[in-house]
Amino acid sequence: MKRCAFLLVMILSVVSIRAQYVSAIQPQKYDKTLHWGGAFQHLDVMAALGTTGINIEAATPLGENWRLRGGISYLPWFKKTMTCEVYVGNDQKHFDDVQEVMQVYKGYRMMKQVQMSGMLSMFNAKILVDWFPLDDEKKFRVTAGLYWGPERLANITPDSRYEATLTTIAAYNSLYEQIDPGDEMYGWGYAGLYMGKYDKDCTDPVRDIQHHEGDTYLMMPDDKGNLNIELKANSFKPYIGVGYELPFKSVGLEKKTDKWKFAVDAGVLIWGGAPTLKVSSDDINLVKDIKNVPGKKGDYVSKFKKLPVYPVINIGVVYHIL
C-alpha cells in the first residue's frame, strides 16, 4: 500500500513538472492587437477625415499602456470671398468727386466696391503620444502631442478685375498728399476700403498717436496698388484630446476584420492666441486692432477672434499590420 501511494505521488510530480515545462515553452495565445508587449513590436496604420482634413498616421506601442503616433494632416484648399466698399474720408459722400477727378487724371472710372478672395488651407505634420488608462481592451485613450506646419493659412487678395481700381486709389492718395490745406479737395480725405473702426489708439514709432480709438479705418493699397491680407497662426501647435477605438468585430462584423478598428479623436489645437489677419500695406491686425468690421468679412474676423484654439474632431479606421 505504501509502495502504491509513493508511486502515485511520483507520477503526479512528473506530470506537474511536465505541465509547467510545456507551459513555459508554449505561452498562452493572446490578441496582438490588444496586448502589445514591448516597445516598437507592432505597427498600425490609420486614416481619418475631420476638421483637420485628411489624416494619415502610423502608430507603434511604447509599452503596455502607451503608444506613439506620427503622421500628416491636410485640409484642402477652399475659397472664401468678401466685398469691401470704397470710402473717401469717413464715408462715400465725396466718392463721385474723386471718381470724376481720377477719370480725368488716370483715364479710369474706379468702382465703388472691391471684391477680395482667399484660398484657405492647412497642412501639418504631427507627433502624438496615446495613454490607455483603463482596463477596457485599449479602447479609450488620452492623447497629447504637437502639430507643425506653415504659419500662413490663407492669402486674401483683390480679384484681378479690381486691380485698376486699387491702382487708381493709390494714385489719388499720392495726389492727395500734395494738396494744399486750403484746397477744397483737402477736406475730402484719403481713399481706401472701409473695414470698420480702430479698437484702440494707434501710435507711430515715436509714440505719437496717429489714429484714435473709434476713428474710421480705411485699408489702403501701397503706392503701386498692391494689397493683400495674410491669415497666420503659430507654426507649432500643441494638441490635447481624447480618443476611442472599437474593433470591427465588436459591432458584429466578420472575423476576417479582426485587425480593423473604428477610431474617433476629439480635442483642440492650441494656437497660442487668436490667428492674425494682417494687412500688407500698414501691418494692421484686423483681429486685434479693428472693431465693427461690416458684412461677411466681419463674420470672418469675429470667428477668428473667438478661436484661440482650433477644435479637432476626426473619424476614421485603424488597421493592424504587424
pLDDT tens digits, 238-272: 999 999 998 887 655 555 567 889 999 999 999 88
Structure confidence at residue 132 (pLDDT):
92
Tell me the percentage of the chain whose pLDDT exceeds 70: 85
C-beta separation of 265 from 143 below 8 A: yes
Tally the residues of the chain.
Answer: 322
State the pLDDT at residue 257: 63
Give residue 254's pLDDT: 56
Beta bridge partners of 264: 244, 315
Instruction: Give the rounded distance of the alpha carbon of 233 from its chain centre.
Output: 8
Where does the pLDDT of residue 310 fall: very low under 50, low under 70, confident under 90, or very high at 90 and above?
very high
Q: What is the dihedral of CA 207, 208, 212, 217, to 10 degrees?
A: -90
Q: What pLDDT, on the 0 to 100 scale, is given for residue 22?
A: 38
**pLDDT recorded at residue 212:** 87
CA 130 remoteness from chain centre: 21
pLDDT of residue 7: 38
- Over residues 28-40, mean pLDDT: 52
Strand partners, 44: 59, 320
What confidence score (pLDDT) does residue 88 get? Answer: 94
Please say whether the beta carbons of 235 and 287 come within 8 A.
no
Q: For residue 39, name the pLDDT band (cuts at 50, 70, 90).
A: low
**pLDDT: which is higher, 162 or 2:** 162
Residue 31 has pLDDT above 70, yes or no: no
pLDDT digits (tens, 9 = 90+) for 218-242: 999 999 999 999 999 999 999 999 9
Q: Which residues contact 132 (CB under 8 A, 6 or more apart)?
A: 65, 66, 67, 138, 140, 141
Tens-digit pLDDT profile for residues 111-146: 999 999 998 889 999 999 999 998 877 789 999 999
For all residues of the chain together, what is the average pLDDT? Answer: 85
Determine the pLDDT at residue 80: 87
pTM for this prediction: 0.77
| H-helix or E-strand spanning residue 74 | strand 66-88
Return the pLDDT at 288: 92
Of 47 and 208, more confident:
47
| Rounded CA separation 145/314 (Å) | 15
pLDDT at 87 over 90: yes
Query: 20-24, 27-31, 144-148, 200-204 — which one is most confidently predicted on average?
Result: 144-148
pLDDT at 18 over 70: no
Q: How confident is the model at residue 26 (pLDDT cuts 50, 70, 90)?
A: very low
Q: How far apart are CA 190 and CA 177, in angstroms?
A: 9
End-to-end Cα separation, the chain, in angstroms = 58
Q: Give the model confidence (pLDDT) of 144-169 as tens digits.
A: 999 999 999 999 999 999 999 999 99
